[in-house]
Amino acid sequence: MSPAAPLYLDYAATTPADPAVVAAMLGCLGPAASFGNPSSAHLVGAAAAAHVATARAQVAALIGAGPQEIVFTSGATESNNLAITGAVRAAADRGTHIVTVRTEHKAVLDVCRHLERTGCSVTYLTPERSGWLRPEQLAAALRPDTVLVSVMCANNETGVVHDIAVLAALCRARGIAFHSDASQAAGRMPLDVECLGVDFLSFTAHKLYGPKGIGALYVRDGSRARIQPVSFGGPQERGLRPGTLPVHQIAGFGVACELVRQGLPTEAPRLKELSERLWAGLEPLGGVHLNGAAAPRVPGITNVSFEGVEGESLVAALPGLAVSTGAACNSEARDPSYVLRSLGRDARLAESSLRFSLGRFTTPAEVDVAVDAVSAAVRGLRERSPARAEPPEGLWEGGSAVVRGEAGSQPEGTWVRFHLLVEGDRVKDARFQAFACPHTLDTADWLCTRLRGRMRTELPPGAPADWAKARGVPVEKLGRLLVVEDAVRAALANWT
Ligand SMILES: *Cc1c(COP(=O)(O)O)cnc(C)c1O
């Protein structure tokens, strides 16, 4: 990566393919490579089929499965769809009740929501405040008509690890199928489907240094009758996933699994140490919360909420870091922080959270750079926050009067306070404090330059629509500038 590229600490979103993975993929692309269709009866097909067989064994080995138990899919989203929809279809004569958890990935929750519309009933369990699901909670939710339970191994936002072996055993004892989304666990912690006792397990290549667009669903040998296909068109993959196998993707996935399996004994403790270094660096800031701290967590995922800073501004202040955020701004989800809120964090704290996810190429020096950048950003934003009663600088001296006016509130997400240094009927200087989004901060800052030197009769300088135009604030954010206007007007009202 070039020095100007952002520091990548978002390995839970995706990982770069390892160079060995890329090499394996290239070996299956192009006229001189094993480009064949593995279903073909001729030698070109057989060469491709050999690559698939090797990869299938590598993928299976990562989770302690047999190669015949691996069904290749396009990724964990598809694996989850197939497992949940397919298991519910297979059990249609026995019941329609599903149990899952509120903190699951959308690739589980949205499938359950869809099935609810087709007549299933779904229980969404709320884990403890730590993010951990107590096995007794699951036991209490199981009913005679429960046909499927889906609980993830490790949470993608907090890294919290559920006790899958215990949860799955509860289900097995009652004849209920058990699925787990292991997308974040695979490659970060040892997984063995025999110890876990699950029927179905989803995982995906691009979270473990493989390519995007390929994943797997583990289907236990004895559980094939517990799942039906959801798409049709060929006998491939035990009749569960038709279509020509993407040999290059599968070959890359295989090598990726092999590498993480071999590296795990040293990589897991290394990532744990780096995560501890990160938290040790951030904790002294004060007003910081390690989300999921009281629960077992997977190494390398650290989710921190920062008091007294607005989420979008925190992200905007960290252009050199590629991390995930609870703030709504750069997330496609309508409800990006539902995981943290279900752990009892209020909306503000959920939004002012950052997920640092470390991986194979993360170094201690990078962690230190991140700590320094985040500390500077948090301190800078807190300087302006409502927690500080005094203006950022002590320049309001002499015999002149200072008038102040504020509007909005921190719980609502926008708060602004102007400080005007006035002399006679003129504004000599203007400053502001705010807990607000980057647009609001920018507009308030710019407005201070427009306030300076103005006569009282010339105030306020224009209206929010003019300011939005001048500062390029998108129309949908215009409402926030009303708080800025209210704060200016409040200051003028206090000018007696
Ligand atoms: C990334 C992720 C998914 C989606 O995986 P894709 O392969 O991108 O479809 C599903 N569940 C969890 C927990 C994830 O982290």
CB within 8 Å of 180: residues ≥ 6 apart: 150, 151, 152, 153, 164, 168, 196, 198, 200, 201, 202
- DSSP code per residue over 201-253: EEEEGGGTTS-TT-EEEEE-GGGGGG---SS-S-STGGGTS-S---HHHHHHH
Determine which residue's CA is closest to atom 12 belonging to ligand 1: 183
Within a domain: 11: no
Do 219 and 356 lie in one domain? The reply is: no
What separation in Å is there between the alpha carbon of 412 and the centre of ligand 1?
A: 32
What separation in Å is there between the alpha carbon of 179 and the centre of ligand 1?
A: 14
Domain boundary (197, 232, 261) is at 261
CB 105 near ligand 1, within 6 Å? yes
Dist CA 133 CA 137 (whole Å): 7
Q: What is the pLDDT of residues 452-475, one digit of tens each?
A: 999 998 888 899 999 999 999 988
H-run or E-run covering 130: none
**pLDDT confidence of residue 330:** 43
Contact 126, 96 (CB under 8 A): no
Do 368 and 420 lie in one domain? The reply is: no
Instruction: Report CA 33 to chain centroid distance, whole Å.
Output: 37
Region 138-165: mean pLDDT is 97
What separation in Å is there between the alpha carbon of 152 and the centre of ligand 1?
A: 11
Dist CA 402 CA 102 (whole Å): 50
**Domain count along the chain:** 3
**pLDDT confidence of residue 54:** 98
Share of the chain above pLDDT 90, in %: 81
Cβ neighbours around 347 below 10 Å, total: 16
H-run or E-run covering 343: none
Dist CA 105 CA 217 (whole Å): 16
Place of tokens 């559980």: 223
Within a domain: 28: yes
Predicted confidence band of residue 238 (pLDDT cuts 50, 70, 90):
very high
CB within 8 Å of 145: residues ≥ 6 apart: 94, 95, 96, 97
pLDDT at 254 over 50: yes
Residue type for position 386? P
Contact 120, 96 (CB under 8 A): yes
**pLDDT confidence of residue 109:** 96
**pLDDT confidence of residue 258:** 98
CB 76 near ligand 1, within 6 Å? yes
Within a domain: 3: no
pLDDT at 347 over 60: yes
CATH assignment of the domain containing 479: 3.90.1010.10
Cβ neighbours around 116 below 10 Å, total: 13
Residue 437 annotated among the catalytic residues of the structure: no
pLDDT at 397 over 60: no
What separation in Å is there between the alpha carbon of 78 and the centre of ligand 1?
A: 9
pLDDT at 11 over 80: yes
Do 26 and 148 lie in one domain? The reply is: yes
Structure tokens at 23: 């090499």
Contact 39, 236 (CB under 8 A): yes
Residue type for position 57? A
What separation in Å is there between the alpha carbon of 308 and the centre of ligand 1?
A: 31
Active-site residue (options: 28, 329, 437, 448) = 329
What separation in Å is there between the alpha carbon of 76 and the centre of ligand 1?
A: 5
For residue 205, give the ligand 1 atom closest to its CA.
7
Determine which residue's CA is closest to atom 14 belonging to ligand 1: 183
pLDDT at 325 over 90: no
CB 107 near ligand 1, within 6 Å? yes
CB 75 near ligand 1, within 6 Å? yes
Predicted confidence band of residue 32 (pLDDT cuts 50, 70, 90):
confident
Predicted confidence band of residue 335 (pLDDT cuts 50, 70, 90):
low
CATH assignment of the domain containing 327: 3.90.1150.10
CB 204 near ligand 1, within 6 Å? yes
CB 207 near ligand 1, within 6 Å? yes
Mean pLDDT score of the chain: 92
Do 136 and 241 lie in one domain? The reply is: yes
Contact 312, 438 (CB under 8 A): yes
Residue type for position 406? E
CB within 8 Å of 195: residues ≥ 6 apart: 64, 165
Structure tokens at 44: 């070109």
Question: Which residues constitute the domain of residue 101?
Answer: 19-261
Structure tokens at 443: 């507009």
Contact 261, 62 (CB under 8 A): yes
Q: Which residue has the higher pLDDT, 84 or 394?
A: 84
CB 152 near ligand 1, within 6 Å? yes
Within a domain: 10: no
Domain boundary (237, 261, 285) is at 261
- DSSP code per residue over 67-126: GGGEEEESSHHHHHHHHHHHHHHHTTTT--EEEEETTS-HHHHHHHHHHHHTT-EEEEE-
Q: What is the pLDDT of residues 274-292, one digit of tens each?
A: 999 999 999 999 999 999 9
CATH assignment of the domain containing 168: 3.40.640.10
Do 346 and 373 lie in one domain? The reply is: yes
Within a domain: 391: no
CB within 8 Å of 445: residues ≥ 6 apart: 432
Do 110 and 242 lie in one domain? The reply is: yes
Within a domain: 8: no
Place of tokens 């925190």: 314
Question: Nearest to residue 259, comparing CAs of 13, 68, 24, 14?
Answer: 24
**pLDDT confidence of residue 341:** 86
Predicted confidence band of residue 229 (pLDDT cuts 50, 70, 90):
very high
pLDDT at 76 over 70: yes
Residue 326: C-alpha distances to residues 9, 310, 469 (Å): 15, 11, 28
Determine which residue's CA is closest to atom 5 belonging to ligand 1: 76
**Residues in the chain, overall count:** 496
Within a domain: 164: yes
Q: What is the pLDDT of residues 408-457, one digit of tens each?
A: 998 888 999 999 999 889 999 999 999 999 999 999 999 999 999 999 98
pLDDT at 383 over 90: no
Phi, psi of 49 (to 5 degrees): -60, -30
Q: Which residue has the higher pLDDT, 360 or 395?
A: 360
pLDDT at 142 over 60: yes
Within a domain: 452: yes
